[in-house]
Structures are given as structure tokens and as C-alpha cells.
């Protein structure tokens, strides 16, 4: 990936998560309120813009789409500001909000495109598809009489086929291995989007919870599996969590802090300082905590991690977080579009600014800093982290040294492990060759796995599913013949492994193949559980919680 593509991809990810983070608690400045700006001058400039559009619409040599010209101008204008102030067109508003609102309307499946065929990976418990008997491994061959298999399917086309308003019906032609095609009529409904992707007791008395983003339902998803648990420790995995709703993060942090302890404060040029304090009702005040973060943990994730670290409430493990600490205020425009304007900066309880420094209008340079963490060695060596010695802060109970200047630096650094990387290994992962092969393999052997290790379904109780998963993990290993089958498939796709490559990547490749079978058979939650078995950061978190002296 070249630098421009990397920067644009990073922008897209972060824009999708910058949704009204501050709207729930920041006072909204009046639209006509200007601080340090002359209203007469504002009127002159806005009139000039209208004149330009009028001239273009009526005098330009070629026909123009004034809507398009205006949209492009809005986008360009916002790009001259900080990296997180954005313009969102009316057509994009709904798509960007769905992941955080916690629901969408559709048929309720997770799927994969395997050999240009829509294949069901899992059905969402209680959703419309489960109610009509759709199950993992089924292939959707047609939708409302239209054959879709083998038609160069895309993700956007699949969403168009399957999503729709609650109450609408869709006819799907389903092919199940060993059976003739059958037609199912599915009534679309509201489908929950879970932001807690895994929650389970990883050791006696220690719960592990991975939070993928902070949405409207995250607090309940987080707290529900903890009910009735006799906890001595909790691992909160925020790796890859780009943020989301601020108020959700505040509610979670409140669970861990004592009454009156500051969670964060924010202030800006037009927005007075706002402080948020714990109210003392938290149920987890006496539970030891380990928080996992990495370079993709941003915004609300950094607020939670920063508060836990500043109050010496737990231990942070991983790599320096992204450094997104700007508060966006959302302003709706007359046509349904919106602008999200940065109005303040977040500060952790000790006073640290979370935001990584930036230059106005230099978004690519800003996102390049994340790319540079790899090239500079920071992702692989703790000594490569650039620390600003002038921005030294102290934690609020034990007086430990922590640093400002952008992002949250963890207490225990864990580098990225690249020891098993080889050129063909990276190719089979990045080009989807590995996941495509496993999808085909898992589907063709699904019946064999069920006979040997037990059935698994969303309608079964958790204990039965846990038993099936454990049977598979303990009983299945990637054999040499299975590995050879994959290597032949990879070679066909242009990724050939040499003996030297296999010495470097072979063991990890086998582990990854097994993990992806778990993902296909049992879903994301169990894939995370399997992956955690060999995860250095998770292992360090467990060790820290089982040895409380490490937290003092």
C-alpha cells in the first residue's frame, strides 16, 4: 500500500467513528456566534460564495452540476482544518451512523463471498434468518428470483440484496450441501450490531472483554456478562478500537473510579472547560484491571485507558495509542448533510493532551505519523518511541511518570511480532487467499466436524457450544496433508512457499489455518478465544492480574 492509499484508508476509518462524540455533554455554540471574527466580514464572504456559484451555473462554458461543485467545495474547505473536522454528505450520514447506533435492518447473517457465491458464515441469534431455519454453510444462490451466484458479487451488491426496511420480505434460494435448492421467505427486521465481540472467563475469576467500538449499546453489552461473577480481575481489550460515543466511554470509566475522581476534561476557544467526574456508583471499583491498547486504539478508547492509568486503577499493556483527542461538534445542514467541527481538546485526569500534534490542512502528513511508527521502529522497539521530556506528568495516586504529547503510552510495552513474516505468508493473508481456502475447506468438511466434535448453533445454550469448541481445539490439528493442500492452492493463486519460507512461517501458518476454521465454524467470539491462547499481550495481562503486586 502506498502512503497516499494508507493515509486515505486511515482517514476513512476514523471518519466513520467520529460520530457526535461530544454532543451529549458539550454546550452547543449558537451558529451565528463568532469568537474573534467580524460578522460583517462573514456576510461578505458568504455572499461572495453565492455569487461564484451563480456565475458558474449561468456562464460557464460547459454544463456543471452545481450540487457536485458545492459538495467538492465543502469537502475541500473542511480539509483545510484539522484532520478530524469533516463534511458528511446527506447520503453518507445513515451509513456512517449505523455501526454506532447499534442496529440496522436486514436478514441477520454474517457471510463471506467464496468462489463468487454468497455463503452464510453464521446467523445472528433471534434474527429473521434463524427463525426460518437458515444456517451456517448455506449458500444463497438467488434473491427474489435473480440468480446471484457467479455474477461477480460485491459487498455493496450483497448489502443491497439483503438489507431493507423492517417488515419487508425477501425470497432467497438456498443451497445446502447434499440437498436440492430450497426457497425461504425472510421478513427483514432490526438486527443488533454488537460492539463487544468477545466476553468470557479466561481464567478462574478473570474475565476478558474485547470492545470493538463504543456504540449506543456498548455499556449494556459490557456489563451484562459480568453480572453474578465473582471477579478478581478484568481484561479490557481495546486494540483496534477507533472510538465512538464519548458518553459510553464515560459510563464505563465511571464503573472503576471513586466518587469525585475526574474522568476527563475538555476545553476549546469557543467552548468553556467541561469536567466529568465519577459519581461513586461504579460496581467495579475494587476489581483489578488490565487494559490492552495498540496504535489503532483511538479517541474514546484513549479516554478510558488514560483515566485508568492516571488514577493507578490498572495496568496498560501493548503499544502507544493513536492520539485522537479532539472533540467534534456536529452541525446539521439544511439538505440533511452535516459538518463535524472540532471545538475542543480532551485532557486526561492528570492534564495530558491525548491529541497527536498536527498542522492545519496537512491530513496526509498527520496520518503519515502512524505509518512512520512502523518505519521508525516504534512498533517493534520500545526505545524508538519519541518522548517529549517537557511534557512529563504524574499519576494521581502513586505519582508514576507518564508522558503527554500524543497518544497513551502503556505501562508494559509489547512489540509487534514479525518473526514469522515471509513474502508468500503476507501475500496469502493480504490477498485473502488464506481466508478463501479455509472458507472452502470448512464448508466441505462441516458435516465431518459436527460428527466428530459436536454441533454448534446460535440456538444452543452456551455450555453446549463451549463444549463443541473445546472438543475441536483439543482434538483437531492441521495435518501435513492439509497444509500441503493449502500450499498447492496458494501456489495456484501466485503465492509459492519455499522450504526457507516454511521454516519461518510454517508453524504460524498452521495456527492461523486452525484459527480461521474456528472462525468459520463457531464465529468471531470463539476465534478471539482461540487467538488469545497464543497472544503475548493477553498472557501478560493474565500474569499481571494473577500477581497483584505487579499493579502496585
pLDDT along the chain (552 residues), means of 10: 38 36 39 52 86 91 90 90 87 66 76 80 75 80 92 84 88 82 88 88 97 92 94 96 91 98 94 94 96 93 97 96 88 88 93 89 76 68 64 93 90 92 91 86 89 86 94 95 95 95 95 93 92 96 84 48
User: What percent of the chain is helix, strand and coil (3-state, nearest 5)?
Assistant: 40, 20, 40
Euclidean distance between the first and the last CA atom of the chain, given in angstroms as a whole number: 43
Question: Yes or no: is domain 103-192 CATH 2.30.42.10?
Answer: yes
Residues with a known catalytic role? 299, 310, 324
Specify whether the CB–CB gap between 123 and 136 falls below 8 A.
yes
Cα–Cα nearest to 119, from 158, 165, 164, 170: 158
* Strand, coil or helix: 274: strand
Backbone angle region of 137, left / alpha / beta, with phi > 0 → left and psi within -120 to 50 → alpha:
left
Phi and psi (nearest 5°) for 338? -145, 155
pLDDT of residue 403: 87
**Cβ burial, residue 12 (10 Å; 0-12/13-18/19+):** exposed
Domain spans of the chain? Answer: 1-87+194-326+345-416, 103-192, 423-538
CA distances to 34, 200, 226, 324 from 207, in Å: 49, 6, 8, 28
CATH code given to domain 1-87+194-326+345-416: 3.90.226.10
pLDDT of residue 406: 85
Report the alpha-carbon angle 133-475-420, nearest 5. Answer: 100
pLDDT of residue 21: 40
**Cβ burial, residue 14 (10 Å; 0-12/13-18/19+):** buried
* Strand, coil or helix: 493: coil
Instruction: Encode burial over 422-440: b for 16+ CB neighbours within 10 A, e otherwise.
Output: bebbebbeeeebbbbbbbe
Which parts of 238-294 are beta strand (E)?
262-267, 274-277, 288-293
pLDDT of residue 420: 93
In whole angstroms, how large is the CA radius of gyration of the chain?
Answer: 26
Amino acid at each position: 500500500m502506498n502512503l497516499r492509499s494508507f493515509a486515505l484508508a486511515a482517514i476513512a476509518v476514523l471518519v466513520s467513528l467520529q460520530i457526535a462524540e461530544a454532543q451529549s455533554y458539550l454546550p452547543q455554540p449558537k451558529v451565528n456566534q463568532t469568537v474573534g471574527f467580524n460578522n460583517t466580514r462573514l456576510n461578505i464572504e458568504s455572499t461572495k460564495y453565492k455569487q461564484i456559484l451563480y456565475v458558474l451555473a449561468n456562464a460557464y462554458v460547459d454544463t456543471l452540476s452545481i450540487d457536485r461543485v458545492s459538495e467538492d467545495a465543502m469537502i475541500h474547505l473542511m480539509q483545510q482544518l484539522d484532520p478530524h473536522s469533516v463534511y458528511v454528505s446527506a447520503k453518507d450520514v445513515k451509513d456512517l451512523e449505523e455501526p454506532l447506533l447499534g442496529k440496522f435492518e436486514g436478514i441477520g447473517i454474517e457471510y463471506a463471498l467464496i468462489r463468487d457465491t454468497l455463503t452464510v458464515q453464521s446467523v445472528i441469534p433471534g434474527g429473521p434468518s434463524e427463525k426460518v431455519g437458515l444456517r451456517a454453510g448455506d449458500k444463497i444462490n438467488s434473491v427474489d428470483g435473480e440468480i446471484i451466484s457467479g455474477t461477480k458479487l460485491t459487498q455493496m451488491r450483497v448489502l443491497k440484496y439483503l438489507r431493507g426496511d423492517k417488515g419487508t420480505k425477501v425470497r432467497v434460494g438456498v443451497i445446502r450441501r447434499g440437498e436440492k435448492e430450497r426457497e425461504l421467505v425472510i421478513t427483514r427486521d432490526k438486527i443488533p450490531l454488537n460492539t463487544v465481540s468477545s466476553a468470557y472467563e479466561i481464567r478462574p475469576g478473570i474475565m476478558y472483554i474485547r470492545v470493538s467500538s463504543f456504540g449506543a449499546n456498548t455499556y449494556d453489552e459490557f456489563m451484562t456478562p459480568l453480572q453474578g461473577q465473582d471477579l478478581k480481575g478484568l481484561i479490557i481489550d481495546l486494540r483496534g478500537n477507533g472510538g465512538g460515543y464519548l458518553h459510553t466511554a464515560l459510563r464505563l470509566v465511571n464503573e472503576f473510579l471513586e466518587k469525585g475522581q475526574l474522568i476527563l476534561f475538555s476545553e476549546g476557544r469557543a467552548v468553556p472547560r467541561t469536567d466529568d467526574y465519577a459519581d461513586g456508583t461504579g460496581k467495579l471499583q475494587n476489581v483489578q484491571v488490565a487494559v490492552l491498547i495498540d496504535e489503532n486504539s483511538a479517541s474514546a478508547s484513549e479516554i478510558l485507558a488514560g483515566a485508568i492509568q492516571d488514577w493507578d486503577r490498572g495496568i496498560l499493556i501493548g503499544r502507544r495509542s493513536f492520539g485522537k483527542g479532539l472533540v467534534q461538534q456536529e452541525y446539521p445542514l439544511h439538505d440533511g448533510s452535516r459538518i463535524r467541527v472540532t471545538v475542543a481538546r480532551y485532557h486526561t485526569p492528570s492534564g495530558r493532551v491525548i491529541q497527536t500534534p498536527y498542522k492545519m490542512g496537512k491530513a496526509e502528513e498527520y496520518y503519515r505519523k502512524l505509518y512512520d511508527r512502523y518505519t521508525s521502529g516504534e512498533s517493534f522497539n520500545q526505545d524508538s518511541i519519541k518522548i517529549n521530556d517537557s511534557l512529563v506528568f504524574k499519576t494521581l495516586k502513586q505519582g508514576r511518570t507518564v508522558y503527554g504529547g500524543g497518544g497513551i503510552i502503556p505501562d508494559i510495552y509489547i512489540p509487534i511480532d514479525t518473526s514469522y513474516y515471509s513474502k508468500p505468508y503476507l501475500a496469502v493473508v493480504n490477498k485473502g487467499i488464506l481466508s478463501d481456502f479455509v472458507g472452502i475447506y470448512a464448508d466441505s468438511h462441516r458435516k465431518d466436524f459436527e460428527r466428530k466434535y459436536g454441533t454448534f448453533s446460535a440456538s444452543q445454550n452456551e455450555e453446549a457450544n463451549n463444549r463443541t469448541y473445546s472438543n475441536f481445539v483439543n482434538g483437531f490439528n492441521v495435518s501435513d496433508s492439509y497444509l500441503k493442500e493449502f500450499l498447492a492452492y496458494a501456489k495456484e493463486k501466485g503465492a509459492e512457499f519455499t522450504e526457507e519460507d516454511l521454516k519461518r512461517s510454517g508453524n504460524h501458518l498452521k495456527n492461523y489455518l486452525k484459527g480461521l476454521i474456528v472462525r468459520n465454524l463457531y464465529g468471531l467470539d470463539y476465534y478471539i478465544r482461540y487467538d488469545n491462547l497464543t497472544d503475548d499481550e493477553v498472557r501478560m495481562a493474565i500474569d499481571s492480574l494473577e500477581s497483584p503486586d505487579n499493579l502496585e
